[in-house]
Amino acid sequence: IVVLGLLQFYAPWCGYCKKLEPVWYDVGAELKSSGSPVRVGKMDGTAYSGMSSEFGVRGYPTIKLLKGDLAYNYKGPRTKDDIVEFANRVAGPAVRALPSKQMFDHMMKRHDVLFVYFGGESPLKEKYIDMAAELIVYTYFFSASEDVLPESVTLPELPSVVVFKDGAYFTYDEYVDGGLSSWVNKERFQSYLQIDGFTLYELGETGTVYILYSTNLLTSTTLIQRVAKEYREHFNRDFQFGHMDGNDYINSLIMGEVSVPSIIILNTSNEQYFLPSEPVETLEQLVHFINSVLDGSAQAQGGDGMFQRVKRVAFDAKSTIMSVFRSSPVLGCFLFGLPLGVISLMCYGICTAESDDGQEDMELMKRDDEEEEDDEEDEPRQAPGELEGPEEDGENEEEEEQEKNPDDKKAD
């Protein structure tokens, strides 16, 4: 019996953990009512720091599915449906069988991207099973016989690993595509995507350079979709195509303002981005822009250098302050105005104290100068007296001799 558990590591002070709490309750209720073997629980990572370290917890909340000796990390959206789907997918077998044509057609309708292994036992199947055990956190993996395929699908050879997506199918070629895991990790996305924050994070893990543009303008959408479909063989290895509504993310990325709509190419491996030097209105212009990025003739902007990091810190600080003032001006004045006022008073006090000390030092120096001048005036007056000192001593000796006793004089 394999023990299955969906565990959330949380911290009492974590705001995201508190926000996840009602969702986590619904996840537990859903899995229990559906008869799932997965048990749901949570653990205070700050109270059990040893367990957190053992499972590699680096932030809160962290969701892991425990399956025997393995722990699968959940990185998807924190919604009930997504977490439940993740638990059911990972809790089951890494590779699921499709025994009939009806089951194959049902899965084709249910999944936008479908990976299937066709054939009998082989070294390729062993690689496929190992890969599926690793990447089951992202998508489903199936196996079937060639009999379930529709007549329109013809495989070049058996065994084969095939991905069905975008109304077409593509076969894995070890000599052209390299490792099976890297190929699957790339092909698990549709050719054209609606990009959000989570998708952006997943794409970043693949190290892919991808296109995104800010709004659903029909002309731009059509051009990029055509490139994604018609030029797949040329650009699929290096590019992921898609779009993102609005320009907030792009403005944050380039730390500036871009017009809407805009076409941008982002390199997720080094945070560089590319903007076309002229408006892109035709398919040929878009293809030329993409090729200029590939051959290095396009000018790269941004990056992850030291200057860009410092600029990023300043931009994020400015954005945070502006967002606070826009949402709550009173709170913004209190949070930023009060500390600035205190710092100003401290600086004024320090400067004032230094000026007072300077005046006192000047007065002391003047007094010392005056005393030195007085001493210099007294020195000439005392000099003659010092020269007359020995004469006075001689007179005193004569007076002492005159005052001697008369008997002493007679004795003399």
Catalytic residues: 14, 17
Q: What are phi and psi of 74, to 5 degrees?
A: -90, 130
d(CA 271, CA 249): 13
Q: Which residues pair with 73 in a beta bridge?
A: 64
Locate 335 and state its tokens.
Answer: 């949070």
What does the angle CA 108 – CA 113 – CA 116 come to, to the nearest 5 degrees?
70
Distance CA(91)–CA(27), nearest Å, equals: 15
Which ranges of 136-236 does DSSP label H, i.e. alpha helix? 174-177, 180-187, 197-206, 218-230, 232-235
DSSP label at residue 121: S
Q: How far is CA 106 from CA 161, 205, 233, 287, 320, in A?
A: 19, 30, 29, 37, 48
Tokens encoding 24: 């986590």
Q: Which of 292, 237, 234, 236 is nearest to 263 (CA)?
A: 292
Q: Residue 201 — φ and ψ, nearest 5°?
A: -65, -45
Three-class SS state of 192:
strand
Residue with tokens 């609606």: 194
Note whether 263 and 213 are within 8 A (CB): yes
DSSP 80-107: HHHHHHHHHHHHS-SSEE--SHHHHHHH
* Whole-number Å distance between alpha carbons of 238 and 235: 6
Beta-bridged to residue 74, according to DSSP, are 63
